[in-house]
Amino acid sequence: MSTEEWLSKYTSWLRQQYHVESLPDGDEVTTPFTNSLGDNIQFYVVPAAKSGELILTDDGNTINDLEMLGINLENETRAALINSIVQQYQISLSTDRILSIRGSVKDFPVMKQQLLQAILRIDDLSQTRKGVVTSIFRQEVSEYLSKNEFEVLPNYPIEGGTGNPYRIDYAIGGTKSKPLRLMQVVPKPSFDRIAAESVTFDDIKKNETLHQQRIKYVIIFNDAENKISTAGYNIASQYGTEILPWSDKKQLLTLR
């Protein structure tokens, strides 16, 4: 079976994992992606009154779940990280801590992508409960890149072939001899998360403006706290996604 056939089968499987339940005020969508509690992430689709627009919301579940784990979100560093994430993905954060995004029906795929990416990034804060905030994994990666004089573009915006917008944690521009290097920091690399990042990479590769550009997509994860399953490595391999454990961070030097 060719790689194209594998990808087609995975895309079909992924769509089948979404479940929609009609509610009085809208629809509840259960995704195949899991959060730090092991629950499937859900979001809600609600028609905006009289505007012909849609509102996608997490109903406050993302931040409520973190608080259930004992994460202090009033901490200055964590609060700043959450604000940074919602700004990156153009998500609204209400005073009662509900994540939402509003737009036209035709923009539903993009809005869904932005909300899910924001939910996954904020859920990553669950990893900070085992240590002091100053040791947050993302900060460690940032400090390492700075110390080793990587000329990176942080929070790099890029579009996929579908038109979906993405934000890459770090990018290094391509040259005649080197590919465009895209690096995502994933503290908790579950199979679902690796699959989602790999699908993102596949979409980016289909952007016609990049068709002559070689691209390297790397997931950096903290293997001191987490392990990746064989299935995770397999799906990454099928998409050409590279996985780099933090214990081997010296390999990053080859990307400069």
Q: Where are the beta strands (DSSP E) in 133-197?
A: 153-159, 165-172, 180-185
- Rounded CA gap, 50 and 48, in Å? 6
18-129 and 136-255: identical CATH topology? no
* Residue 217 burial (C-beta neighbours within 10 Å; 0-12, 13-18, 19+): buried
Burial of 39 (0-12, 13-18, 19+ CB in 10 A): exposed
Q: What is the mean pLDDT of residues 47-57?
A: 86
216 burial (CB, 10 Å; 0-12 / 13-18 / 19+) is: middle
Q: Compute the distance between CA of residue 180 and CA of residue 191 in angstroms, rounded to an integer.
A: 25
Please, are residues 193 and 228 in contact by the beta-carbon 8 Å criterion?
Answer: no
What H or E segment, with its residue span, contains residue 43?
strand 40-47
In whole angstroms, what is the distance from residue 216 CA to residue 191 CA? 20
Q: What is the mean pLDDT of the chain?
A: 88
Measured distance CA(108)–CA(220) in Å, rounded = 29
DSSP string of 222-235, one letter each residue: -TTT----HHHHHH
Of 1.10.10.10, 3.40.50.150, 2.40.30.110, 3.40.1350.10, the CATH number of 136-255 is 3.40.1350.10
User: In one letter, which amino acid is 47?
Assistant: P
A 10 A CB-CB count for 144 gives 16
Q: Which residue has 């932005």 as its token pair?
A: 114
| Local structure of 56: helix, strand or coil | strand
Digit-coded pLDDT (tens) for 96-140: 999 999 999 999 989 999 999 999 989 988 776 554 443 478 888
| C-alpha to C-alpha distance for 121 and 104, rounded to whole angstroms | 24
Tell me which of 242 and 1 has the higher pLDDT.
Answer: 242
Q: What is the pLDDT of residues 129-183, one digit of tens each?
A: 554 443 478 888 999 999 999 999 998 999 998 888 888 999 999 988 899 999 9
Could you give the CA distance from residue 107 to residue 114 in angstroms, rounded to a whole number? Answer: 11
Q: In CATH, what class is 18-129?
A: alpha beta
Indicate the residue type of 200. Answer: T
Q: Record the tokens describing residue 201, joined without a space.
A: 């990479």
**pLDDT over 90 percentage in the chain:** 53
The residues spanned by each domain of the chain are: 18-129, 136-255
